[in-house]
Amino acid sequence: MNEKPSFDSSTLDARSYHLGLIYAFAEVVASGCKKLALSPPLTEEQLEEIMDDVRLIAREYGLVLYVDDDFLTTRLFNPLYTRGKIVIHIAAEQSTIDEYKELRAYKQRHLEAGALTEEVETEIAWRLGRLLSYSDEAIEGLLIKPRF
């Protein structure tokens, strides 16, 4: 068996690791490189442990946060990665958060109408990928092989 070695974040101090990722993403969003960034999926306990510091980071960069306990599942990511977890959205503008919420509502409307086709699922994945400032190539790759 020829397994590729991979980074194991579970060996790190979780609080510092999560805050480090969030701080780096805040800088990337604030500099305009990324429209929307996401924290790693967090448990309620992990969120409570870091939320005050996350708010300080957002204030430092003038960013908007959205705490999402029902992350939109798309074909980009394995849904098990976020199921039962909380994801903090990091954006420069409230309109970006509103766009994400509308995308989630769009999926829900299609689901309730029994019209959540593969074509609609693909559209939703593309729209989320664009919100996350992913390139077309990155989105296409994730549609073939979802991350996480």
Q: pLDDT tens-digit profile of 71-81?
A: 999 999 999 99
The number of folded domains in the chain is 1
How many CB atoms sit inside 10 A of residue 57's CB? Answer: 20
Segments forming the whole domain that contains residue 89: 13-144
Q: Is residue 4 assigned to a domain?
A: no
Quick check: is 70 in a domain? yes
Domain-embedded: residue 91: yes
Residue 8 maps to a domain: no
The candidate with the shortest Cα–Cα distance to 9, out of 42, 58, 31, is 42
Question: Which whole number is the average pLDDT over 24-51?
Answer: 97
Mean residue pLDDT across the chain: 95
What is the pTM assigned to this prediction?
0.91
**Environment class of 3 (CB within 10 Å of its CB; exposed 0-12, middle 13-18, buried 19+):** exposed
pLDDT, residue 2, reads 63
pLDDT tens by residue, 97-118: 999 999 999 999 999 999 999 9
1 within a domain of the structure (yes/no): no
Q: Does residue 3 fall inside a structural domain?
A: no
